[in-house]
Structure 1
Amino acid sequence: MVKSVKGMNALGGLVYSTEAGRTCPGCRQPVASCICKASALPEGDGIARVRRETKGRGGKTVTTVSGLLLSPEELKTLGKKLKTRCGCGGSVKEGVIEIQGDHAELITAWLTEQGFQSKRAGG
């Protein structure tokens, strides 16, 4: 069964099918076997913006790194290296690396040493 929405063509096409689950609006394939996401890079200017956030996290501090023009696999590898360097946990979500704790200065310095352009963002 295919779920449809009035004006679906204006919205970009099929979004969900009970047979295959979520579908990519670009190639109309199931998200797991999407062929267009492999060539797509995240948006940004290539400068790593490192910021410290607490909003919406129950008061917990998280350091985020965004703006890098890397593939999802490269972001995941870089996130693992950052977690090892900082000695803490974290994750990669939607092109943003999240590191638990306040490690903004350490991450900015390490990214610069590794050859990335980086700058502190926010307060």
Structure 2
Amino acid sequence: MAKKKLGLEDLGGFVFSTNNDFDETEYQDTEQTETLAPKKQYLEAHFSNKGRGGKIVTIIKGFEGLEEDLIRLGKQLKKKCGVGGSVKDNEIIIQGNHRDKIMEILKKDGYNVKRVGG
């Protein structure tokens, strides 16, 4: 997961400087990280039922790239499994225990996937 640079808005938008040549654009996050190619991605397929009222979910962690690409991958997995889910906190959450099917789909698309947990 790429670390985000702090911008002026993270400081509350107020900056005081005695430097006449101060350039605030130097400190703004204008560069977005690119999405790594599937061969360079190392994803983890987790199984969980904690904090969800006992409901089982499959969680995909470790995606590195733009949020739009993560959302697109999440939609693709939900559609191929025929279930619902969401994308939160840089994780894809798929309803139900579809870990083996999701791992197969991701490997076919060229991702490196590792099974984590029971």
Question: TM-score when scaled to structure 1?
Answer: 0.68
Total equivalences in the alignment: 94
The yes-or-no answer on 1:117 pairing with 2:112 is yes
Q: Deviations over 1:63-122 (max 9, x none)?
A: 000012121000000000000010010000011000000000000010000000001101
The yes-or-no answer on 1:90 pairing with 2:85 is yes
Question: Secondary structure, in 3 states, of the residue corresponding to 1:49?
Answer: strand
* Structure of higher RCO (CA pairs closer than 8 Å, 6+ residues apart): 2
Question: TM-score when scaled to structure 2?
Answer: 0.71
CA distance in 2, matches of 1:47, 1:29: 32
Question: Secondary structure, in 3 states, of the residue corresponding to 2:8?
Answer: coil
Q: Deviations over 1:7-50 (max 9, x none)?
A: xxxxxxxxxxxxxxxxx9811227xxxx62862479xx831100
Report the AA paired with residue 119 of structure 1.
Answer: K
Which protein shows a greater Rg? 2
Structure 1's consecutive aligned runs of 4 or more residues displaced over 2 angstroms after TM superposition are 35-38
1:99 is matched with which residue: 94, 99, 106? 94
CA distance in 1, matches of 2:31, 2:79: 26
Q: Name the counterpart of 1:16.
A: none
Instruction: Confirm or deny: 8 A CA contact 2:106 2:112 kept in the other structure.
Output: yes
CA distance in 2, matches of 1:119, 1:86: 19
Greater share of helix = 2
What is the RMSD computed on CA atoms of the aligned residues?
2.4
